[in-house]
Structure 1
């Protein structure tokens, strides 16, 4: 309560309305699995690189962050293909958690073997390297990265000035500490014209530093600052690093400086941790001298090493590897260790740290066999059940028959998972057809396609609409033809069929969860409750530690009623009027004095969801003209 101690006029703000509840996103998709390249947490230089799962909003963004549709060995990348299908079918937001099985060094340290996982390029190639370019992320794709460095000489930055007493001085202008300059003799009392045709002489390169009096000079070998001398010109040298990956990606970083003291230094912009470009392909390392008494390279030697990789002689990284195929344990990952910041969350567990994700899948489970695939699918469902506010799309085993997919489905019983069958066949985008040969095809699991349809249905109609009777885009045919009679076996067991209908294209023709509970039989009912629960949870956090009295109860009750009223008007709930669609109670009838004494405020909410018209029945019969209609 405010204090009024001094006489005067006090103007105070207050509110006469209930707090609104905002609906949470329902179509954000998350996947964990192998990718060709891209962010994955690992320990480097004593620091853990923990970018966490990255958000991409188009397949173009995905390719820049995680690479293409194949892995290093040429096999299809199911996660990339699922991402492509997700965006093709209407998806908009995708979080990817890359799973990588690192090769470790032998011994008790059990550390990551750098050369076995990361491609690199030492400069010079023989002798003691002055610098080394590293692939920022592990994988064979790093060996396709090429690096070249160009330089530019700017105008003379050493200016002569005459003081009032007639004495002459020179000063550096237009540069910051850490910038590299090249000294040159004056020609006829004037600086020579700058040229980019000849590379700088290493002995003439200096690094700009600030002296104790605030003036700019040149850093010397002892760590001091030398004042600029007259009779010289100083040309500012800037760098441009070009990084190429294959034939499709070209990144150019312009206006870079040489020394780390400058905020735009090449080692800062292309750093291993927190670079300017979060999806940069490489990072620059200056190895410390290993020989006893060896001195670090001079600025001129460092610049010469950088410029050795010019446009005419680019350098390509070598080495690296894709490790082993991840196991079910690695796909599921581990939660972050709260007592060790060097052990972040990995795999599917890393997606658990992102609150916005509403749908998850692991297409790489199809690379597993037998019990491993079952354990991975079970772990995916457990992930959703524990976090409560997300739905799992489970992929069936490859080449499953009707009996095999029924056997696979029988091992699960959850309201937080849905299984779709069969696989889908697409024209292989990674291969060019030979003249006269059949078009190459590729079989894919359905999770990416279905997740995109979830997103499209949510955006077009709402989460309450069953994501079924929707056209599947970006495919040629289904691997197995599910007929009317076959679906009569699959549908009662909670296996959602993907079917082709003459004149109506390929469609999702099922909307059931993998649950034996009839209350939670339909996907849209479970996802509607996820939406309602998550929205209320996030938007009523303000009520914690408020005075637990009638005023709080009325405010919470009004907020929830307003939210459910809008939900009912959108068509998500049954009933011709709000009283038939929902009720909200938060008063003495929902709480005992013991609840209040122990700090519990209990709000009881009931909603009447809409169920899909799964079986549309028209009854037609005959009647005579003189007989009344029934």
Structure 2
């Protein structure tokens, strides 16, 4: 109890209610794979440039960070899956990019993984260099345009006004009337001076540690730069950048490689290795000398990552190397659904199986997430059954067949039929999971739901065909006349009948994760009846709320669940070893997979028994 040593009045706060449990999110999706652009660990990157999975909440946000729907000339399966996810009701997606690097350094030749442009163009060696911030061939489509601005006269007498240390200033003599001269807007600045502050006075450094105050009879013009970065329809504009490194808006700081002001910036500015740092005059002259039509050159997408790279590696425990691949998704607690569309791009079925094994193992180790498995492309009924037979897990579900969509990157020619693409189903199915969770709840089986944004399923799964697929845990995607394209299955790929259904597995994930996160306060509390009663009350209150949503069976809470935490669940040995054991039982609702109406003839004048 608190100490009371000095006489007086003590006002203390206390709680008379049990602690509440907040339900965790269940519709957050995570994917790993190849993207056109975006954050990724690379041997040429500074270790601090590598970022973990990036959260995107719309297709527009995805495209800004990770690029478009193609990588080179090939469709980007992850981008198309993201498009299907958002198109079917998904709201939160974490993306972890994977890249099989081909170069060990940003300066390892003109065709390295990073595109770049030396400035001034053609100079050897260049004074400065624009570098793509992330690897990829799309870097060769980036164009950087630099413009300068000249302010009005900022010198009054011998004092400067409206500038901070680090600003670049061009000086000129006043005319005969004591007015600042008129300089054409398109005339490039000459020699520039960098503003410094000494003893509270703004003046100019001489580059050798000296300091010169502004002199009478001079005008001073503040010179700033505007940088435009073009990539397709995207235009990033950075205005009012300064040329002195002391300024917080220094161009080399705003557009730097590590932690720039704009997290999604496309380029960064550097001095080539081995070259001296240019002064402000040389820096501005070099950037202005660059051809406005010049693009960065080089850049590579690397080769197709294998199963090992998709699985990735956990982070170095000493913080020297970040996690990659699926291991990086493991660091995000909110993710509840995961997929790996690029497993279908692997060269053979053995590699695809290895990648899917890694995906399932990831979910089993994380415990609080489920995997959506994509079948190989162009699989027949027999082939998808053979593929399914290689797995057994209560943390994964398989959907068949692939989806056919109109190619969003295809030519728009009204005289020709639109081109189509076949995509794996995982992205659309994850969106349906999210949509069902939002509209009904995680306890509702994500089935009998319309698949949006597709033209048709690649393979027609009929009633007879599904009678073979469904008992084996292959969830069919079917077309019904007048009812559109629908998900027509809700089974996991588990041989354990207790975990046959996706919604039951996901309901228990939700319950377990919510209880886990919200009862951490109990660790190191006194292990006695007071704690046990508090734990029981906390969990019962939570389960009553879950029961009221229709997630559990029973007409009364006593029929839906039980919570025990007392001397019957713990032995003295448990107490001696610091273990508090709470036993929870819930009665989940199972989906009405087979709705049966039994109808027979009834004689009108007979009486019901």
Q: Alpha-carbon deviation of 1:227?
A: 2.1
1:265 aligns with 2:217: no
Q: Which moved more, 1:368-377 or 1:257-266?
A: 257-266
Aligned partners of 1:207, 1:531: CA distance in 2, in Å? 59
1:356 aligns with 2:326: no
Cα-to-partner distance string for 1:119-155 (whole Å, 9 max, x where unaligned): 0000122222111000000000000000001111122
Equivalent residue number for residue 97 of structure 1: 96
Equivalent residue number for residue 167 of structure 1: none
Match 2:172 to one of 178, 181, 184 = 184
Q: Alpha-carbon deviation of 1:25?
A: 0.4
Map of 1:473-552 to 2, 5 A cutoff? 473-552=452-531
Q: Is the 8 A contact 1:103 1:113 kept in 2?
A: no
SS at match of 1:200: coil
Equivalent residue number for residue 279 of structure 1: 264
Q: Alpha-carbon deviation of 1:379?
A: 0.6
Match 2:139 to one of 121, 126, 142 = 142
1:431 aligns with 2:410: yes
SS at match of 1:42: coil
SS at match of 2:538: helix
Q: Is the 8 A contact 1:151 1:196 kept in 2?
A: no
Cα-to-partner distance string for 1:469-517 (whole Å, 9 max, x where unaligned): 0000000001000000000000000000000000000000000000000
Q: Alpha-carbon deviation of 1:268?
A: 1.2
Map of 1:61-460 to 2, 5 A cutoff? 61-72=61-72, 74-105=73-104, 113=108, 115=110, 116-124=112-120, 125-160=122-157, 170-187=158-175, 188-193=177-182, 195-201=184-190, 203=191, 205-211=192-198, 213-246=199-232, 248-287=233-272, 289-290=274-275, 296-309=277-290, 313-339=292-318, 341-368=319-346, 369-460=348-439
SS at match of 2:156: strand
Aligned partners of 1:303, 1:47: CA distance in 2, in Å? 30
Equivalent residue number for residue 13 of structure 1: 13
Equivalent residue number for residue 623 of structure 1: 602
Runs of 4+ displaced beyond 6 Å: none
Aligned partners of 1:45, 1:71: CA distance in 2, in Å? 21
Equivalent residue number for residue 39 of structure 2: 39
Cα-to-partner distance string for 1:427-484 (whole Å, 9 max, x where unaligned): 1111125454332111111000000000000000000000000000000001000000
Q: Which runs of 5+ in 2 are unaligned?
A: none
Cα-to-partner distance string for 1:181-240 (whole Å, 9 max, x where unaligned): 111111121222465321111x2x0111222x2322212221333222222111111111
Q: Is the 8 A contact 2:103 2:113 kept in 1?
A: no
Q: Alpha-carbon deviation of 1:243?
A: 0.2
CA RMSD of aligned residues (A): 1.6
Q: Is the 8 A contact 1:243 1:251 kept in 2?
A: yes
Q: Alpha-carbon deviation of 1:44?
A: 5.0
Q: Is the 8 A contact 1:418 1:514 kept in 2?
A: yes
Q: Is the 8 A contact 1:181 1:234 kept in 2?
A: yes
Q: Is the 8 A contact 1:573 1:610 kept in 2?
A: yes
Q: Number of residues paired by the alignment?
A: 605
TM, length-normalised to structure 2: 0.97
Q: Is the 8 A contact 1:30 1:360 kept in 2?
A: yes
Q: Which moved more, 1:182-191 or 1:480-489?
A: 182-191
Q: Alpha-carbon deviation of 1:256?
A: 1.1
Aligned partners of 1:9, 1:173: CA distance in 2, in Å? 59
Aligned partners of 1:309, 1:461: CA distance in 2, in Å? 57
1:588 aligns with 2:576: no
Q: Which moved more, 1:129-138 or 1:96-105?
A: 96-105
Aligned partners of 1:98, 1:143: CA distance in 2, in Å? 19
Q: Is the 8 A contact 2:167 2:195 kept in 1?
A: yes
Q: Is the 8 A contact 2:56 2:92 kept in 1?
A: yes
SS at match of 2:75: coil
SS at match of 1:315: coil
Aligned partners of 2:129, 2:209: CA distance in 1, in Å? 24
Cα-to-partner distance string for 1:325-370 (whole Å, 9 max, x where unaligned): 111111111111113x332111111111100000000101111121
Q: Which runs of 5+ in 1 are unaligned?
A: 161-169
Equivalent residue number for residue 558 of structure 2: 579
Q: Alpha-carbon deviation of 1:581?
A: 0.4
Q: Is the 8 A contact 1:454 1:467 kept in 2?
A: yes
SS at match of 1:4: coil
SS at match of 2:65: helix
Q: Which moved more, 1:218-227 or 1:565-574?
A: 218-227
Cα-to-partner distance string for 1:521-560 (whole Å, 9 max, x where unaligned): 0000000000000001111111111111111111111111
Aligned partners of 2:594, 2:163: CA distance in 1, in Å? 75
Change (3 A) 1:457 1:546: same
Aligned partners of 2:274, 2:325: CA distance in 1, in Å? 37
Change (3 A) 1:123 1:182: same
Change (3 A) 1:328 1:288: closer
Aligned partners of 2:38, 2:314: CA distance in 1, in Å? 20
Q: Is the 8 A contact 1:564 1:582 kept in 2?
A: yes
SS at match of 1:251: strand
Q: Which moved more, 1:136-145 or 1:618-627?
A: 618-627
SS at match of 1:319: coil
Q: Alpha-carbon deviation of 1:114?
A: 7.1
TM, length-normalised to structure 1: 0.93
Change (3 A) 1:112 1:474: farther
Q: Which moved more, 1:517-526 or 1:125-134?
A: 125-134
